[in-house]
Chain A
Amino acid sequence: MAEVKLLATWPSPFYYRVVWALKSKGIAYEFIEEDLANKSPLLLQYNPVHKKIPVLIHGGKPICESMIILEYIEEIWPKNSLLPNDPYEKAVARFWIKFADDKSPEIWRVFRSVGEEQEKAAKDSLEMLKTIEEHALGEKKFFGGDKIGMVGIAFGQLAQWLQVIEDVTGVKLLEASEFPRLQRWINNFKQVPVINENLPDYDQMFAFFKGRRQMLLASK
């Protein structure tokens, strides 16, 4: 069995996407912590194009970009599958995965900005949440089914990181009363054992992101 290593940084939500996928399939891996303020030769060698984490290294070969890593994991280790078998259902899943990747950065714009820019980012974030609430979730327990899959993992940032962003910035985005389906999904998602056992500690995350925001504001 070729060796699996994961080059990443706590508390990146992209790192956790890969962790959840690996753990749900019972794949053993070695975690290598990267210091993004002081990028290692390893990172520069394995992700020369973006110099970002996470990077999955399987048998010495690097794969970059979290959702591309997840598709790779799914193909190499099909057990406990994270994507539907049916090609149409799979296409629907990939549609929402792309939506998650394209739109989730809005919540980070709320985190990084102030004033008018933050207001715009908050507006865009709310539109994203509305779309998920109205079109993506349906009545099932998780996106598309009774167990978590790649779509849920793709939206995982909303399950904990969103709350940290709200608490650090004071900008409330997800009111449970306005987004009942999304709130229910978050509660269900966080109770799934593989997620529950692999979430960053909330207080530590809050302290970390509070510090980051202070640094960002000071530099403006």
Chain B
Amino acid sequence: MAAKEEVKLLGFWVSPFVLRVEWALKIKGVKYEYIEEDIFNKSTLLTELNPVHKKVPVLVHDGKAIGESFVILEYVDETWKQNPLLPQDPYQRAMARFWAKFAEEKIFEGAWTALCSQGEQKQKALQQTREAMEKIEEQLQGKQQFFGGESIGYLDIILGWISHYLTVWEEVGSMEIIDPAKFPATMAWINRFLKHPVIQGTLPPREKMLVYFHQRSKELGSTSHGWLRV
């Protein structure tokens, strides 16, 4: 066991990207100090630790800062070997990374765009998101527990936002992305995910999220490009 190892996480209460890192650290049993950042009023700490993007999450380990949730997850997995997040087999690892990238580009981006846009753009985004979710549904069929097998893994963590954010965004955006009747495997996965001890107690309160995203979608809907994700 290493000597004094300081782990800090700069986050924002409603960021799904920050949640990913919290779940990873909790699965590994890594103690960390959480520092809440106001992303609309960025501190000098944030701009120093993530000068390129000035975004959260930022993981600081022994004074060294890492940004980007995907990158942080791989770092956490390599630094703390217990409870591996990525599969051991290189081909399976490539598959996990493939689906993570796919889900981020097609589902997260699609749902977010649908939330913040209107008319034809919204419909197009919804269509893209639904089609992408169908592919995830296929991947989940036959899975007993999680993408990671018996326990939560990398892909579960990357997709985990769906279990809590999607219905909020659907409500705020007056849209339906997942019809529960058409996505039985996904619904079952969502229920298992939400019941998992690591996930419980980490999720931001739904009522607060509704207010927040209602405001954000209105603000972002009135600009034409350059949306800040979350």
Please give the distance in Å from A175's CB to the nearest CB on chain B. Answer: 22
Cα distance A131–B54 when bound, in Å?
Answer: 13
- The reply to whether the CB of B72 lies closer than 8 angstroms to some CB of chain A is yes
Which residues from chain A contact B71 at a C-beta distance below 8 Å?
91, 94-95, 98
Q: A-side interface residues toward B, CB under 8 Å?
A: 49, 58, 61, 63-65, 68-69, 71-72, 75-76, 87-88, 90-92, 94-95, 98-99, 120, 131, 135
Measured as residues with beta carbon below 8 angstroms from the partner, the interface class of chain B is 20 to 34
Please give the distance in Å from A80's CB to the nearest CB on chain B. Answer: 17
A68 contacts B51, C-beta separation under 8 Å: no
What would 5 more interface pairs be, CB under 8 Å, given A65-B101, A95-B68?
A: A72-B91, A88-B66, A91-B72, A95-B52, A95-B66
Cα distance A92–B75 when bound, in Å?
Answer: 10
Q: B-side interface residues toward A, CB under 8 Å?
A: 51-52, 61, 64, 66-68, 70-72, 74-75, 78-79, 90-91, 93-94, 97-98, 101-102, 135, 225
With CB as the reference atom, state the residue of chain A lying closest to B78. A87
Q: Which 7 residue pairs of A and B lie closest in terms of their CB atoms, listed nearest first?
A: A75-B90, A91-B75, A72-B94, A94-B71, A91-B66, A87-B78, A63-B94
A98 contacts B90, C-beta separation under 8 Å: no
Cα distance A139–B98 when bound, in Å?
Answer: 33
Please give the distance in Å from B109's CB to the nearest CB on chain A. Answer: 11
Cα distance A76–B70 when bound, in Å?
Answer: 21
Which residues from chain A contact B75 at a C-beta distance below 8 Å?
87-88, 90-91, 94
With CB as the reference atom, state the residue of chain A lying closest to B89. A75
Can you report 28 residue pairs joining A to B where beta carbons are below 8 Å apart?
A49-B135, A61-B91, A63-B94, A63-B98, A65-B97, A65-B98, A65-B101, A68-B97, A68-B98, A71-B94, A71-B97, A72-B91, A75-B90, A88-B61, A88-B64, A88-B66, A88-B75, A90-B78, A91-B66, A91-B71, A91-B74, A94-B74, A95-B66, A95-B68, A98-B68, A98-B71, A99-B52, A135-B51
